[in-house]
Structure 1
Amino acid sequence: MSFSEGVKASPLRDNVRHITTHDSTTGKAIVHSSTPGNWSSFDDGKLGFNVIYTTDKFPPDLNDDEDVKAHDRVRASGKLGLVNPGGTVCRTVDFSPEYECMMHRTQSLDYGIVIEGEIEMVLDSGETRLLHPGDVAVQRATMHAWRNTSKTKWARMVFVLQNCEKVRVGDGLLGEDLGCGVEGLPPSDTAV
């Protein structure tokens, strides 16, 4: 699987991140910054990631832009996996037509929201669900894959991943499992 930093693979509209803050003299809400997506392309351009924002703890510290500085540090480190230990990750993911990502598990509670197209959620039990725009999958550290069911159209999801305690099932302890892995994507326990 190939990895390309700064490459947007899909033809879908780029998204822009708008961060708000407060005017230090009036206390009124203002726009801190507006920036276009920062995309990475995986698996020969069939999968695109745009990390919208991260936090490194919960609750985050918004004073003196500490959360913005923490996000910038994590992004600059190049060590962000799917999950940011102790924090959150908000990410846009684009899937090419008929693409199915690897079966994987994150140590996190995830909200996956379909924005465009249709995506099939595939669980390691063999159970599947077809999600449509506006549908939300709440992933609770489960082994899963995502499959774009369209033969011609790209699909987009937004994910919010929140680090969680390790999950016990019977006598076993579940943790992150990236299956065959993705070139350029480090394990989640290496983030700064």
Structure 2
Amino acid sequence: MSGKGRRIVTGHDANGKSIILSDGPPPQNHPMHGPDVGADFIEVWNSAAPVPNLTATEAAEPNARPFAIMPPSGHLLRIIEMYPASMGGHRTAMHRTRTLDYMVVIEGEIVLLLDDSEVTLGPGDVAVQRGTNHAWENRTDKITRCAFFHIDATFDEALLETLPKPLELMR
């Protein structure tokens, strides 16, 4: 992998001119090499606002919060580096989140496992994850890097009737 990446945040000066507010590594990196996860979570941007208010600058660092798989409301962009078994990686536990997720493979290959099927994704492939029960597994011998954009969502009442009870959501 090419390091943890770089985050460039833009904004406006007092005259409304576009400027660079910050340029550096993402402020949070969470290595997770436990029994259920073998990955690094690199937090890029988190907003608790369902609709962001675009101001000239950010009043505070949006990632100044404890780690959570998905903070309530708003949206979150993170880069996840998933390790193969040969490097301490594990298939994630099957899980469901109350989010709409867009996952883009940047580098490597990853398998998306669902209740009754699986699909392999490679560089440039996009998965639109809509609150389904799923897991991820890196079956290669190299680290896979993916971008995940999570948006808080709600489940339709008709869909909720068909889902297992109690509905267990990863937080």
Q: TM-score band, normalised by the shorter chain?
A: 0.7 to 0.9
C-alpha spacing 1:173/1:120, structure 2 compared with 1 (3 Å):
closer
Instruction: Report sequence identity in percent.
Output: 32
Alignment of 1:90-129 (within 5 A): 90-98=77-85, 99-123=90-114, 125-129=115-119
* Higher helix residue share: 1
- Partners of 2:21 and 2:57 within 8 A in 1: no
Alpha-carbon deviation of 1:14? 1.8
Corresponding residue for residue 6 of structure 1: none
Alpha-carbon deviation of 1:34? 1.1
Corresponding residue for residue 145 of structure 2: 156
Counterpart-to-counterpart distance in 2, 1:176 and 1:21: 39
Candidates 32, 40, 61, aligned match of 1:48: 40
Equivalent residues, number: 161
Q: Which structure 2 segments of 5+ residues have no match?
A: none
Alpha-carbon deviation of 1:176? 5.5
Alpha-carbon deviation of 1:40? 0.8
- Partners of 1:92 and 1:159 within 8 A in 2: yes
Q: TM-score when scaled to structure 2?
A: 0.84
Q: Which structure 1 segments of 5+ residues have no match?
A: 1-10, 179-186, 188-192
Q: TM-score when scaled to structure 1?
A: 0.75
Counterpart-to-counterpart distance in 1, 2:78 and 2:17: 28
Which SS does the other structure have where 2:64 is aligned? helix
Considering only aligned residues, what root-mean-square deviation do their CA atoms show, in Å?
2.1
**CA displacement 1:51-83 (0-9 Å, x = unmatched):** 1001111210122535x5261xxx3331x4222
Corresponding residue for residue 21 of structure 1: 11
**CA displacement 1:99-155 (0-9 Å, x = unmatched):** 3111111100000000010000001x23001001000000000110111120x2110
Counterpart-to-counterpart distance in 1, 2:74 and 2:109: 29
- Partners of 1:56 and 1:70 within 8 A in 2: no
Counterpart-to-counterpart distance in 2, 1:138 and 1:16: 25
1:65 and 2:57 correspond:
yes
Counterpart-to-counterpart distance in 1, 2:57 and 2:109: 37
1:146 and 2:133 correspond:
no
Counterpart-to-counterpart distance in 2, 1:28 and 1:142: 43
**CA displacement 1:140-187 (0-9 Å, x = unmatched):** 00110111120x211011000000013442625675523xxxxxxxx3
